[in-house]
Amino acid sequence: MNTLFQTLPAEVRAQLRETPAPDWLQPMLATLTDRRFSDKDWLFERKFDGERCLAYRDGDRLRLLSRNRLALNDTYPEVAEALAEQTARRFVTDGEIVAFEGSATSFARLQGRMQITDPVQARRTGIAVYYLFDLLYLDTYDITSPPGRITGQNRHRFRESQSRHHAHHHSACAGRRSDDGTSAITLPNPHRR
């Protein structure tokens, strides 16, 4: 069992069940609202204006896929390489690839990169940053659904731990500010399929 699971209470670890590596997990999508609220059962995160990217690693095979299941490995080769360097051999991550204009994300700047499928040309742009915001599957465990679902404080603690271990490429932009809004995620069931 991956050492990241050791950060969870024993009763949560005991509920984890092995599952086959998934070919696809439907990403959670945001719903726009003007309603503002505060609730201890919700996690609030920055919203980034970029391209959704799910990373699937199974041994030596790593696939980056858009939310529409389009292959992104050649468009973001540096992201694929950073994820391939991780010690975990099986995982699924969910995140957003963004570009910056000053201290704010710029979808307009990213759009040019999104059309590039030549890895050498894509790498020369130097504008892609992958913000990893969730770990959906690790080793042989789906950590998004019962009985192994990691909920509430345990999920938040686990996400903080996995982001330190799985996103060293994220740290290059730590502290930059995005003005794209806020996403609210309900902690008891953050990923619905």
- Evaluate if pTM is beyond 0.85: no
pLDDT in tens, the chain (193 residues): 677 778 778 887 888 888 898 999 888 777 777 777 777 777 677 778 899 999 999 999 999 999 999 999 999 999 999 999 998 899 999 999 999 988 888 999 999 999 999 999 999 998 889 988 888 899 888 887 654 445 444 444 444 444 433 333 333 333 344 455 555 555 544 444 3
Q: Where are the domains of the chain?
A: 3-16+46-186
Which active-site residues does the annotation give? 47
**42-46 and 129-138 as β-strands: parallel, antiparallel, unpaired?**
unpaired
Query: For the domain bounded by 3-16+46-186, which CATH number is listed?
Result: 3.30.470.30
Separation CA 2–CA 84 (nearest Å): 17
- How far is CA 108 from each of CA 44, 49, 78, 114, rounded to the nearest angstrom? 25, 9, 20, 10
**Structural contact between residues 48 and 98, judged by C-beta atoms closer than 8 angstroms:** yes
Separation CA 81–CA 134 (nearest Å): 18
